[in-house]
A = this chain, B = another copy of it.
Amino acid sequence: MTMTTMTTMTTPTTIKNNPDKILLGHGSGGKLSHDLIDNLFTKYFNNPILNQQSDSAVIPMSSNHIAYTTDSFVVDPIFFPGGNIGNLAVAGTVNDLAVSGAEPKYLSAGFIIEEGFSFSQLEQIVISMAVDAKKAGVTIVTGDTKVVDKGKCDKIFINTSGIGILDKKNVGISSGSAIKPGDKIIINGSIGDHGMSVMAARNELNIQTHITSDCACLNHLIADALKSSKLIKFMRDATRGGLGTVISELVKGSDYGIQIDEDKLVIHESVRGLCELLGFDPLYVANEGKVVIIVGSEDAEKVLSKIKESPLGKEASIIGSISEDHKGKAWLNTGVGGKRVIEMLSGQQLPRIC
């Protein structure tokens, strides 16, 4: 008996017995894979390019430059207050494109799923991705699904890559090469919410908090900021490693210093409390809806006002500036008048936060 006839005989029964379970066959490239594509992915991600269902998505391209990025998401737990792994997978890649000065346009989605994973949870994740992609104005045009045996991955991992169109004037905008002393540093709101919401959602901690992840697509906010000023010199989303990592990476080897005023940082009380309880420094806790923008001081207030107009920028503030002193160093002016060096995080503060 060939395997073909064998699977023809046994698979329908398995499906009937486990209507909500993802089976190894859903990753086989055969009939079950096709069912999954038809009944889930093209149903929710529905768009003409994806619907071609060819080996590659074919995309008309009018720009001379594109931005291209990839990110894998392995967050644990996969559902947390404020979002799930699907929201993260869309926002993370959209934001990486947006901070490069690009208009995010197309996403790919690669799923690695553990055998036995709940179909309805997968559907919920896929719907979240479809909703966020639509809000952000991006299209999920190509995808892939692999299913591995039970115990060989942890529920679900998602990789998204993304393509954005890059206006010539924005090429190199996030390099930071034009930064000079006096420039101001803006962030669009509070820090630490995402990381602490995921920590609190971990069952083993049994913590009750009101912390909600800030997970969000920032591309519209960033596009508005870019339109409001020609003096934006650097943008980066403060994800893994948090604000502290963005600042310490930027200043490393530069011919300027960076000072951050601790008093200007917005840290929600619940986040601050949980950080103190668990021994984390909010400066290094992951965000998923926060962008650090460096802008010439003349335009700083204008850009800040524009950002505050967005629902995702209501708590925005100017948190520091570029300094001529202490070249290559970043420091926090603490609330009590001291200075604390902001160093690059060594090792892992919070595993599987995104």
Contacts and interface: CB of A to CB of B under 8 A. Distances in A.
A205 interface: no
A237 interface: yes
Contacts of A144: 70-72, 159
Interface string A22-43: 0111011111101000000000
Given A57-B69, A64-B60, A11 B347 contact: yes
Interface residues of A, number: 101
Nearest to A283: B4
A344 interface: yes
A149 B352 contact: yes
Q: So how many copies of this chain end up in the complex? A: 2
Interface stretch (A103-111, A119-127, A293-301, A318-326): A103-111
B245 A343 contact: no
Contacts of A63: 61
Given A23-B347, A108-B161, A110-B159, A68 B31 contact: no
B7 A347 contact: yes
Contacts of A62: 64
A171 B146 CA distance: 28
22 contacts: A11-B346, A14-B347, A25-B346, A27-B351, A29-B240, A30-B349, A34-B249, A54-B100, A55-B95, A55-B174, A56-B68, A56-B162, A58-B100, A58-B172, A59-B67, A59-B68, A60-B65, A70-B109, A70-B161, A72-B112, A110-B110, A110-B159
